[in-house]
A and B are shown apart, each in its own frame.
Chain A
């Protein structure tokens, strides 16, 4: 499935196009209008220099643009999801110099000297990260919306606490909500990934 390969407008291009495109297609009013709560992007834009998934990028943005909006709207890196946009759901989790943070609660301009890692940068080429593989093996998702944040958060957790005890995982992961409530499988996947990573070491 590739949005870019399709000739028809996709959900993502409709979202990117905003309300005008949505209205023309008459389906737009069902979709969240990105302009409503997006950070400003006009008026005081200036290029900034970011390192995302090892790549150097220089989007021109307003300094009040959240890291999440910069990733999604300016760089097309849509792995981090905009769930609540207020720090409650964890769907926008990324790694900042290896530590998990919420990209909706920080401005992109503040991270010019840091390594930003999203779900797109977690795998090693075609070889999945042990946490990604474990999520598949344990069926640790249903709708998938929270999954990129869950996986990135789990990667950050296992870097902080390798070999974390199974009964500690739910609290350590409770910054990531799953409205499908796949929590038990998420916990099992992380425990399994932790063991797999210990074997690799």
Chain B
């Protein structure tokens, strides 16, 4: 039996101190991912820091008209401001998991959840993300659910979050605190692409704690929408999803955000698709162009070429359902 300590943090400072003092400590909040990772021997923390007692669950309006969502806010949150001003987020949360899981899963934990690649989840397989330098069993295995964008020769896994894809379309920032104080990480800079070091998954430092997710008041956020394709009608991880947010001014698209889920090792900002939309009316031609551009640079594997067309279609559907006022 490995030595192990369970610690109930009394305040943010204590949680950060334990993190700083113990290189293999792990924070637990909802625990919907970490419990299985520990049980399966994929993560072996020396300390488990329970932060559920911290005062980090509140959803509050920001002076600039944006919204601040505490890191411990559960994914089952029902908040009129989210529904009205950031609909893509409400839809992504609802599509993300069963009510039982959403009642526990938190915003902070959702962002830091680990990949669902079957070769990562079963320690008997080689995995550079789990055991750096051991190889990637997915490259010679079943790649049907793996990524088509942002992959490397070391890792082809997909980031599983729906919430994070919506947050990217909303230009969210992640407020974190460490021993040297607080800082904000733009959502796009939180998750790393695998490159040669897939085990370095996020830019959050080992001794930093997520305090909140902040949504700025973007004009595009109110007209936003999430569409997710999965292989059954019940809850399942995304095969391809799209979060779209469009600002219309005088009948033309003034700004837009398009993010893809289920196709890359991080929430994937499809900037070429945004460029294809901007300045045009939100009509079929513009939507066709955006859908086509959404998968620019895709490098599918033999088993997942279907994801290229699926990603295009999910963008097309999301933008089409967004049309009109």
Contacts and interface: CB of A to CB of B under 8 A. Distances in A.
B180 interface: no
Contacts of B50: 109-110
A83 interface: no
B1 A42 contact: yes
B98 to A, nearest CB: 2
B32 A87 contact: yes
Nearest to A92: B100
A86 B103 contact: no
Contacts of A110: 28, 31, 50, 52
Interface in A24-73: 37, 39-40, 42-44, 62-64, 66
A184 to B, nearest CB: 15
A174 B48 CA distance: 31
A44 B50 CA distance: 17
A63 B6 contact: yes
A62 B234 CA distance: 34
Interface stretch (B33-41, B137-145, B189-197, B282-290): B33-41
B297 interface: no
Interface stretch (A5-13, A95-103, A124-132, A191-199): A95-103
A93 interface: yes
A99 B28 contact: no
B39 A101 contact: no
Contacts, number: 86
A145 interface: no
Interface in B276-312: none
Contact of A101 (B3, B5, B48, B104): B104
Given A44-B1, A106-B31, A110-B50, A87 B39 contact: no
Given A37-B39, A110-B28, A174 B103 contact: no
Contacts of B82: none
A175 B104 CA distance: 13
A156 to B, nearest CB: 8
Interface of B: 1, 3-6, 28, 30-32, 35-36, 38-39, 48, 50, 52, 76, 97-101, 103-104, 233-235
Interface of A: 37, 39-40, 42-44, 62-64, 66, 85-87, 90, 93, 96, 99-102, 104-107, 109-110, 153, 156-157, 160, 172, 174-177
